Structure 1
Amino acid sequence: MSENPADPDFWHSRWQENRIGFHQAQANALLRDHLGALDLEPGARIFLPLCGKTRDIGWLLSQGYSVTGVELSTLAVEQLFDDLDVTPRITQHMNLRRYSAENIDIFTGDVFDLTTDILGLVDAIYDRAALVALPRDTRPRYGAHLARITGTAPQFLICFEYDQNLMEGPPFSIDVREVARIYGQTYALTDHAAEKVEGGLKGKIPATERVWLLR
């Protein structure tokens, strides 16, 4: 089994072995409390990169938004639709498979295979568990790719900050300098909100969860 988060096999193994500590049992509190800061129109289409089977999707749908996402693991996407109690239509788009239902489109495959034409128009990006999952060398390419395929759609970005010497990622620590390195040439960055991770990251490392608004 690969121990390199840049290797797709690393994530496939995590899902197959149910080692998904990054999956939260309910929608993220910072999302619920602060998404309004983006001033999105009712019915806005929100893109979630590396979305897994996050409960955030169900919450966004309940708020009247349309959701699209991309996820490497087919298993995760199948579990997502099971959790939503929805049977998706499945179609193939180049190297990506698309799972679609009312107000939701999730692509399975490599995020770097996703193009503007396949993705379609989106009004915003919500990144909670994607950037923090990527090794440092991959992040600039990822950030540039997201900006390109979404037409620099505004972004609601949640990052962890902690002493990286105390624990190997993922999730990795992403501080203000790292956000600026990845997105500073493309977006105006606003440090919008933060809260301490209750009980520490993975139950042991003091950490802060921070919301960045990118416009």
Structure 2
Amino acid sequence: MEHEFWHDKWRRNEIGFHNREAHPLLVEHFARLGLEQGDRLFLPLCGKTLDIGWLLERGYAVAGAELSEMAVIQLFEQLGIDPQVDKTGDLKRYSAPDIDIFVGDILHLTREVLGPVAAVYDRAALVALPLEMRRRYAEHLVQVTGSAPQLLITFEYDQEKMPGPPFCVNDEEVAEHYAASYTLNLLQTVDVEGGLKGKCPAEEKIWLLESKSLVA
């Protein structure tokens, strides 16, 4: 899946993946991360999600990565924040107090540039990528965040009935990507109301991934 696919989605405003409110599974299960106010979360492939505003309003700091600069500009407009923009390596950084969004290919984001994060919230990154890219992304995410604990949202459905994204990522695949680094806890499974994109039955799942290195 080429970068131009996502740039085109944003240009055409084909962003059905963008919810109009904070994700209810985040709201319900966020406390399971055990964070304190001021802690910094990383949201990969964040778009202009309203989850960022929800986190900022509750006193948390946010870092994000997003391929589309258009999405990031709209995010800051939505937040009513005038960001500082600078270049860091292959990426642009839009920043303001308690928020840093890196624009470009997430695989070019280094641990040093990202800085420390207390947790990851992956709502729409893993499921946005085809399988081979998911493997590279998951490995990179563990490395760049120092295996910080995660809340991860996935979809499970018959991939033959509908092409992604979002792609089907079943329980076995979650384990393939993350079981070496994390203890995997499935917190909740809900049926997608009306089916995924109205085309086929699907389940949405939220996982808590607890770092084995931190537990040790």
- The TM-score normalised by the length of structure 1 is 0.96
Q: 1:19 aligns with which of 14, 18, 25?
A: 14
Cα RMSD for the two superposed structures: 0.8
CA contact (8 A) 2:157 2:168 kept: yes
Between the two proteins, the alignment pairs up a number of residues equal to: 210
CA contact (8 A) 2:162 2:199 kept: no
Work out whether 1:138 is the aligned partner of 2:133.
yes
CA contact (8 A) 2:61 2:98 kept: yes
SS of the aligned residue for 1:138 comes to: helix
Q: 1:184 aligns with which of 167, 179, 184?
A: 179
User: Can you give the 5+ residue segments of structure 2 that lack an aligned partner in the other structure?
Assistant: 211-216
Work out whether 1:122 is the aligned partner of 2:109.
no
Partner residue, 1:154: 149
CA contact (8 A) 2:114 2:144 kept: yes
The letter of the residue matching 1:162 is Y
Identical counterparts, % of pairs: 55
- The TM-score normalised by the length of structure 2 is 0.95
Partner residue, 1:102: 97
Moved over 4 A (4+): none
Q: Which digits, 9 at most, give the CA deviation of each residue in 1:108-150, with x for residues without a partner?
A: 0000000011000000000000000000011111111001011
User: Can you give the 5+ residue segments of structure 1 that lack an aligned partner in the other structure?
Assistant: 1-5
Partner residue, 1:31: 26
Partner residue, 1:8: 3
Partner residue, 1:78: 73
Q: Which digits, 9 at most, give the CA deviation of each residue in 1:81-126, with x for residues without a partner?
A: 0000110001110110000112110010000000011000000000
Partner residue, 2:213: none
The letter of the residue matching 2:81 is V
**Cα distance in structure 1, aligned partners of 2:96 and 2:195:** 37
Work out whether 1:47 is the aligned partner of 2:29.
no
**Cα distance in structure 1, aligned partners of 2:89 and 2:136:** 21
**Cα distance in structure 1, aligned partners of 2:188 and 2:58:** 21
Work out whether 1:204 is the aligned partner of 2:199.
yes
